[in-house]
Structure 1
Amino acid sequence: MGIGERLKAERERLGLNQTEFAALAGASKNTQYNYEKGERCPDANYLAAAALHGVDVLYVVTGVRSPQAFESITSEEAVFVELLRSMDESDRAILGRTAEAFAKPQQK
Structure 2
Amino acid sequence: MNIGERLREERVRLGFNQADFAAFAGVAKTSQFNYEKGDRSPDADYLAAVAERGVDILYVVIGQRLPVTEPTLSSDEIEMVEHVRSLDDEDKGAVKRLLRAFSHKK
Aligned to 2:49, what secondary structure does the other structure show?
Answer: helix
Report how far residue 24 of structure 1 moved: 1.0
Aligned to 2:39, what secondary structure does the other structure show?
Answer: coil
- What corresponds to 1:11 in structure 2? 11
Structure showing greater radius of gyration is 2
Deviations 1:30-69 (A, max 9, x none): 00000000000000000000001100000000000012xx
CA distance in structure 2 between the aligned counterparts of 1:72 and 1:23, rounded to whole angstroms: 25
- What corresponds to 2:31 in structure 1? 31
Aligned-residue CA RMSD (Å): 1.6
Structure 1 residues 72 and 52: alpha-carbon distance in aligned structure 2, compared to 1, 3 A threshold? closer
- What corresponds to 1:2 in structure 2? 2
1:59 partner letter: Y
2:32 partner letter: Q
- Structure 1, unmatched stretches of 5+, are 74-106
Q: How many residues align?
A: 73
Aligned to 1:10, what secondary structure does the other structure show?
Answer: helix
Report how far residue 72 of structure 1 moved: 5.0
- What corresponds to 1:81 in structure 2? none
TM-score (norm 2): 0.64
TM-score (norm 1): 0.63
Instruction: Percent identity, please.
Output: 62
- Structure 2, unmatched stretches of 5+, are 72-104
Aligned to 1:12, what secondary structure does the other structure show?
Answer: helix
Aligned to 1:7, what secondary structure does the other structure show?
Answer: helix
CA distance in structure 1 between the aligned counterparts of 2:65 and 2:30, rounded to whole angstroms: 27
